[in-house]
């Protein structure tokens, strides 16, 4: 009969080998390193926590590192989408304030709060684009991130807000989350060259690392700059200097785009808007 020691020995060896095997496997990136922030951005993006994903990308982009060429286009899509999401929700609250004539104060406060958040991410987007335009001359732009979740369908909570229905904090949070998801989804479609076509864009992302011609990407950035410039108009944040920066930066982006019908139409819109400001 084998001794108890003899029986236990192989098991002990196996356990030891498992420990050694685990300890010598792939190590997680060290906290605070570019690899850590890149990994964290992908993880939070996959769960639709776009604010956290943007924060991780912002920290990553503070230094020069090997992830920057892939992080910049992603950051542009993400920050522009977040800004648009907050801006659109602010418009919902503004409409709600008009509908709720007897007691519009809470709606007006939310309008102001959401536009302040929109401006924060719009300015981040504009600054990031200037860095991209200065340092990236690639003729093909890589979108190296997963296809975002969300839906472009109308958002029930936002529709109620627009109608002047009083919203509880939980409803406001839902409206905010869904507005950001919708806007990031649409920003991704736009950047990929499939504006408003989620099915086409999703198909493009199935293979990973979507390759977008530079002129397509730059036209998308110009459109986003122009749209976000509207945030600073007299009926919203009323900051004409910032509005002018967004619109002139959009014109700069269009300089990299062949004179297609879309590019000409957008350029005409911006030039007309700028002339009204003079």
Query: Quick count: other Cβ atoms within 10 Å of Cβ 118?
Result: 25
Phi, psi of 26, rounded to the nearest 5 degrees: -60, 130
Q: Which residue has the tokens 């809470």?
A: 106
pLDDT at 278: 58
Question: Please, which residues bridge with residue 141 across strands?
Answer: 212
Annotated domain spans of the chain: 67-144+151-270
Question: Please, which residues bridge with residue 143 across strands?
Answer: 210
Query: Encoding tokens for residue 177?
Result: 């989350």
Residue-by-residue pLDDT tens, the chain, 278 positions: 444 344 344 444 444 444 444 445 567 899 999 999 999 999 999 999 999 999 999 999 999 999 999 999 999 999 999 999 999 999 999 999 999 998 999 999 999 999 999 999 999 999 999 999 999 889 999 999 999 998 999 999 999 999 999 999 999 999 999 999 999 999 999 999 999 999 999 999 998 889 999 999 999 999 999 999 999 999 999 999 999 999 999 999 999 888 889 999 999 999 999 988 75
pLDDT at 9: 40
Supply angle C-alpha 176, 224, 47, rounded to 5.
40
């Amino acid at each position: 009969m084998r001794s108890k020691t003899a029986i236990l020995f192989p098991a002990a060896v196996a356990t030891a080998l498992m420990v050694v095997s685990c300890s010598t496997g792939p190590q997680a990136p060290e906290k605070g390193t570019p690899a850590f922030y890149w990994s964290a951005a992908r993880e939070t993006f996959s769960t639709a926590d776009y604010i956290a994903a943007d924060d991780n990308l912002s920290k990553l982009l503070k230094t020069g590192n090997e992830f920057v060429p892939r992080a910049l286009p992603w950051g542009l899509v993400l920050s522009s989408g977040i800004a648009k999401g907050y801006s659109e929700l602010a418009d919902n609250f503004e409409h709600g304030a008009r509908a709720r004539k007897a007691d519009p104060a809470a709606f007006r406060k939310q309008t102001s709060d959401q536009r302040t958040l929109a401006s924060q991410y719009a300015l981040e987007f504009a600054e990031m684009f200037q860095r991209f335009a200065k340092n990236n001359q690639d003729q093909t732009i890589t979108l190296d991130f997963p296809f975002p979740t969300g839906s472009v369908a109308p958002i029930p909570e936002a529709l109620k807000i627009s109608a002047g229905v009083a919203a509880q904090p939980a409803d406001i949070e839902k409206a905010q989350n869904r507005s950001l998801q919708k806007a990031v989804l649409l920003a991704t479609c736009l950047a990929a060259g499939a504006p408003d076509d989620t099915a086409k864009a999703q198909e493009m992302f199935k293979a990973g690392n979507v390759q977008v011609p530079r002129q397509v990407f730059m036209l998308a950035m110009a459109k986003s700059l122009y749209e976000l410039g509207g945030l600073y108009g007299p009926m919203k944040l009323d900051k004409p200097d910032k509005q002018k920066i967004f619109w002139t930066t959009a014109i700069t982006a269009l300089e990299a785009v062949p004179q297609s019908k879309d590019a000409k139409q957008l350029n005409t819109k911006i030039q007309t808007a700028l002339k009204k400001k003079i």
